[in-house]
Amino acid sequence: MPAPVPPLDGAPPPGRIVTAVALRFFCRSHERLADAASAASPALHAASVTPLSPRSHRETTSARRQPSISTVARLERAQYELAPSVVRRLLATYGADAEQTWEITHLAGDDDGDRKSKEICDLGPGWYQRLAWCEHAATAIRTYDATHLPVALRTPEYNDSLLWVGPQEAHRGARALPLTSAGRITGLIDHTVLERPLGGPAVMARQLDHLLVFVDRGARVRIVPPGGPALWRWDKTSEMTIYGQRLFAVEAARVTYYTGPTAGGPLAEVLDEAEATALSDDESRRLIAAAASRFRKETELGEA
């Protein structure tokens, strides 16, 4: 049974949520690197954490002006407004480069930007990775795709058959979620997706078998049948529950995020309509299994 979704009212700006997710992933990466350095050179690590004298500690802390641990924890869960200066300091601490810092600070709201907008486009080259981080951080994902299988449920070879994401977008496979995440995914898929052998029938058969494994592990994958709602212009729309908030994403050449009843409400209605029109879980599974069988037979005929 899906968990109740949070209300739309009272949601923070989407840029704050995405920035908070990015900060947490940078922090964890930084901690892993520090642990690796510590394991590689314990003596050097011990020297680096030698306690400072009270005076030196005050001077160093004053110079860095770092927020407290409790404040950082709240910032990284989107509970506070993210001032650009604080975001920049945290990213510098976590080892982010200048380009990453600019992109994430833009999402948080530049010094002269709007930090309260309920709609923001992620324009930076790292948008794909940040969307992957959001999907991995989400406790629930509901997604509708009119043309392809949801990215989180794709095999690498199916994903590689799609060329709309250029090779400059690193870690494309990072958006594939593990089987342990199956129970938090609801995928709404147009029926025509089961008819197109992207990558060839063999690739498609393996992809649909992979999809069935997710279904058997608890993912809700439902097929939107012919005659369903006209949702084509909302291709690749997702709703993610992150830190107790609903974050919507519409993906095209880049991704645009939305929150709140005014900006996010219409997208919630699109997903509600698709889900209301979709076939039952059992009927959808039957269609997916039949399509997988059909593509396996096509593969065998082609090899004969």
**What is the domain-level CATH number for residue 151?**
3.30.870
Full residue range of the structural domain in which residue 264 is found? 127-303
Question: Quick check: 53 pLDDT over 70?
Answer: no
Strand partners, 144: 188, 237
Helix (H, G, I), strand (E, B) or coil at 235: coil
Q: Which two tokens stand for residue 215?
A: 């279904």
Residues 148 and 293 grouped into a single domain: yes
Q: What is the pLDDT of residue 164?
A: 54
Q: Which two tokens stand for residue 268?
A: 């919630």
Instruction: Quickly tell me which residue has 């770092």 as its tokens.
Output: 66
User: Pick from 59, 77, 75: which is nearest to 67 by CA?
Assistant: 75
5 domain-assigned: no
pTM, rounded to two decimals = 0.82
2 domain-assigned: no
122 domain-assigned: no
Q: Which two tokens stand for residue 233?
A: 């212009």
Residues 265 and 135 grouped into a single domain: yes
pLDDT range class, residue 125, cuts 50, 70, 90: confident
Residues 112 and 131 grouped into a single domain: no
Average pLDDT, the chain: 80
Q: What is the pLDDT of residue 248?
A: 97
Residues 141 and 39 grouped into a single domain: no
Q: Which two tokens stand for residue 103?
A: 């992109």
How far is it, in rounded angstroms, from Cα 300 to Cα 99? 49
Residue range 70-86: mean pLDDT, rounded: 65
Q: Which two tokens stand for residue 190?
A: 């147009």
Residues 299 and 161 grouped into a single domain: yes
User: Phi, psi at residue 213, to the nearest 5°?
Assistant: -65, -40
Name the domain count of the chain.
2
User: Pick from 24, 211, 32: which is nearest to 133 by CA?
Assistant: 24
DSSP letter, residue 12: P
74 domain-assigned: yes
In one-letter notation, the amino acid at residue 82 is L
Residues 299 and 162 grouped into a single domain: yes
4 domain-assigned: no
How far is it, in rounded angstroms, from Cα 223 to Cα 185? 14
Q: Is the dihedral of CA 107, 108, 113, 119 positive or negative?
A: positive
Residues 146 and 290 grouped into a single domain: yes
Question: Quick check: 40 pLDDT over 60?
Answer: no
Residue range 54-83: mean pLDDT, rounded: 52
Residues 136 and 174 grouped into a single domain: yes
pLDDT range class, residue 66, cuts 50, 70, 90: low
